Amino acid sequence: MKLVDLRCPACGGTIERKTASNVVVCEYCESRYFFDDEEADALQEDVFEEECEEASSLSMADYAEQACASFLESFDNGSFRETPKIVRGLGIEDGEVIFLIHDDTFMKSGKNGFAITDRGLHCREMAEAATFTDWASFAKLDAPAEDGCYIRCDGKSVCYYTDDSDLLPELMKLYKRLHRYALRHA
């Protein structure tokens, strides 16, 4: 169900909201439009329900892959690059498929950051050991909540991101989408 048809002010084309982000891009003229948080929240529930209906047969890993690809289409600022140091620093296993990864250290030493993989969520806070939360365990945790430069569930860090304060709210939306899908498929 669509709440409203969005029209591009620049060219008049219909804009489809394909993700639950605050940004939409006109597929005709490539103009970008930003929703404020209130507008985005009003449409986010509808978008998520449509996504769940379309993706209901997807595994959690497949849904996470699609959600991360959608996120990267809109928000890849160049900081989501896989390096051997961050893979080692987060304790990602050989053969694990990485959908989204970020090394949050200044010199890209791999000592803190996060990753979303086919197996679940990796996070490493500054001067702490890496943690891993598999998808089934993630579904059992409370909804993600922003806490400074962290996203936490039940006090457990699942994301650490300090590079761009404007991007953390978008990561928060991604983690909320993943959590809601995990709840539905637990």
- What does the alpha-carbon distance between residue 98 and residue 73 come to, in Å, rounded to a whole number? 16
Residue 14: per-residue pLDDT: 76
Residue 76: per-residue pLDDT: 82
Residue 78: per-residue pLDDT: 84
Residue 80: per-residue pLDDT: 92
Strands 145-147 vs 150-153: parallel, antiparallel or unpaired: antiparallel
Give 40-56 pLDDT, tens digit per residue: 655 555 555 555 566 56
For residue 114, count CB atoms less than 10 angstroms from its CB and return exposed for 0-12, middle for 13-18, buried for 19 or more. Answer: buried
Residue 1: per-residue pLDDT: 33
Residue 185: per-residue pLDDT: 82
Pick out the chain residues at pLDDT < 50.
1-3
Residue 18: per-residue pLDDT: 57
Contact 48, 66 (CB under 8 A): no
Question: H/E element holding 158?
Answer: strand 156-160
> Global pTM?
0.75
Is the Cα dihedral 115, 167, 152, 125 positive or negative? positive
